[in-house]
Amino acid sequence: MLATLRMIQVCDSLFPIGAFTLSNGLETLIANKTITDGSSLEEYVSSFLSLLPYNDLGVMMLSYDHAHNMDFIKKLDIFSMALKAPEEVRTGSKKLCSRFLKIYREFEGATDHSYPALDTYRDVVADGDCIGNHAIAVGLFANDIGLDKDEAASIYTYSLLNAIVTNGVKMIPLSQMVGQKILSLSQKKILLAVQQAATLQMDDLGVGGVGIDIASMKHEELYSRLYMS
């Protein structure tokens, strides 16, 4: 139970790493009127979730599976970051990871042996042997605290969707109830996405959403911006 609560804590939008500042192209799509209501926001969320097993969710689960194989983690780090086509998305993941690696040990009862895999990853990132991918750090954290992989992946995925929906509700704007309905409709899809991601290997990663990537790339050209990507 404690491991579940710790996972919820580090995935919460209020966890002080700045996860709430990422929109993954959503701000661009709202600014250009592609997304204007609950229906179009739900379509975006569904598309984002369909790609997630082949991107950050798959990366998170692979890092969990290979937590104590740092050679694999180094390859996954470089490969997964290269797959992030928009520069703002790469930068955002790197910044989240950097902040996560600075504060993850600030938990009551942490010792020098509490987080062996994540400690090692922190060291190789500091040495410049890895770039630092937030999804990898989350997977290693989940493994270190002994949380079931599927449960950890479900919490992580929900947190990503919750951040997107919260941002969408604020920017469009929509009522909180509309946002909650979208999240409710996504819950069964989250479980299916986790099941799908669990079957993938590194070579399966990288299925891209061209529309979302282009929106993320155009984000840096917006006249005014509230979010990092």
Res. 27 pLDDT band, cuts 50 70 90: confident
Residue 208 has a pLDDT of 79
Residue 213 pLDDT greater than 80, yes or no: no
Question: Rounded distance, CA 12 to CA 25, Å?
Answer: 21
The token duo for 190 is 């989250």
Q: What's the pLDDT tens digit per position in 183-211?
A: 999 999 999 999 999 999 999 999 878 78
Task: Give residue-wise pLDDT tens across range 142-190.
Answer: 999 999 999 999 999 999 999 999 999 999 999 999 999 999 999 999 9
Orientation angle between helical segments 2-11 and 134-144, nearest 10 degrees: 170
Measuring CA to CA, which residue among 86, 132, 103 is closest to residue 228? 86
State residue 229's pLDDT score: 52
Q: Residue 224 has what pLDDT?
A: 66
Q: Is the pLDDT assigned to residue 21 strictly greater than 80?
A: no
Q: What is the pLDDT of residue 228?
A: 61
Residue 176's contacts (CB-CB under 8 Å, 6 or more residues apart) are 169
CB 213 within 8 A of CB 84: no
According to the model, what pLDDT value does residue 109 have?
59
Handedness of CA 138, 139, 142, 148 (dihedral sign): positive
Q: What is the pLDDT of residues 93-137, one digit of tens each?
A: 999 999 999 998 887 655 556 899 999 999 999 999 999 999 999
The CA distance from 221 to 193, in Å, is: 32
Instruction: Count other C-beta atoms under 10 Å from residue 36's C-beta.
Output: 12
Q: What is the pLDDT of residues 53-84, one digit of tens each?
A: 999 999 999 999 999 999 999 999 999 999 99
